[in-house]
Structure 1
Amino acid sequence: MKLIHNFIVKLDIKEFLRFVMVGVLATGINYIVYYTLQRSGVNINISYTAGFVVSFIFNYFASNLFTFKTKPNLKRGLSFGVAHVINFLTQLALLNLFVLIGLSKTLAPLPVYMISVPLNFLFVRYALKRK
């Protein structure tokens, strides 16, 4: 709860907008890779994982250099990685849940992104900016 309170109190609108821009690009990269692979017959979990990995690499550097104006380093990389592993596992569970309840494999990632993006901002901001 304290993390959410601190987020609201210290919200930097420009930083959040940069996060959204990078997130949209990373999400687009993730979806293009996922869509291309799953339409080629690759299992949805493997397709989603491949998309996530490619977008993760882009996202790490863009988040450091553009969004939060920090320098990439090993400590930030590890923290960013942990935040994204938590986010990835949440996304993968949601993806399978949405497919299980009948949403098409093509559209299932879209509500996943809507749920995971705000959560991911909190995790990534904490990972890259904590002292």
Structure 2
Amino acid sequence: MIDKLKTNPKLAEFIRFIIVGVLATALHYGIYLALEYGIGLNYNMAYTIGYLLSFIFNFFASTFFTFQSEANAQNGIKFAGAHLINYFVHMFLLNFFIFIGIPGGIAPVFVFPIAIIINFFMVRFALKK
């Protein structure tokens, strides 16, 4: 497996993306649950705050670890643009799943897999030359 990762840099990059994505998603979901159920904040507001905090972690982890590029203003702007689109995908899906009757505490579990796939391609485009 290690040899396959050494000879296939795109596979290694994707695995690093998964690692960062899992950590960012866990951070996002943990903050969301703590704010909504811990202090009773509106689910849209709690989700947004969790998204913003995980975004900061995600930018630095994606830049340095996943795509091994540099953290500069240009990459930051492109990354933020990709995540702005992704944020609206998240919010649409979250509200859709809640609208169809999925409880707010579980709805993000359905949002994350869809949004993460879309996000991979947008972030890769933003941070890779």
Would the TM-score normalized by the shorter structure come out above 0.5?
A: yes
Greater shift, 11-20 or 25-34, is seen at 11-20
For 1:50 and 1:85, how far apart are their aligned partners in 2?
13
Percent identity over the alignment is: 45
Question: Taking structure 1 as the reference length, what is the TM-score of the superposition?
Answer: 0.90
Q: Tell me which residue corresponds to 1:52.
A: 51
- Structure 2 gap segments, 5+ residues each: 1-7
Structure 2 equivalent of residue 22 of structure 1: 20
Supply the AA of the counterpart residue of 1:62: A
CA deviation after TM superposition for structure 1 residue 107, in Å: 0.3
CA offset at residue 109 of structure 1?
A: 0.3
Partner residue, 1:81: 80
Partners of 1:32 and 1:23 in 2: how far apart?
14
After superposing on structure 2, the runs of 4+ consecutive aligned residues of structure 1 that deviate more than 4 Å are none
What is the Cα-based RMSD across aligned positions, in Å? 1.2
- Mapping 1:1-131, distance limit 5 Å: 12-39=10-37, 40-130=39-129
Q: CA deviation at 1:125?
A: 0.3
Aligned residues: 121
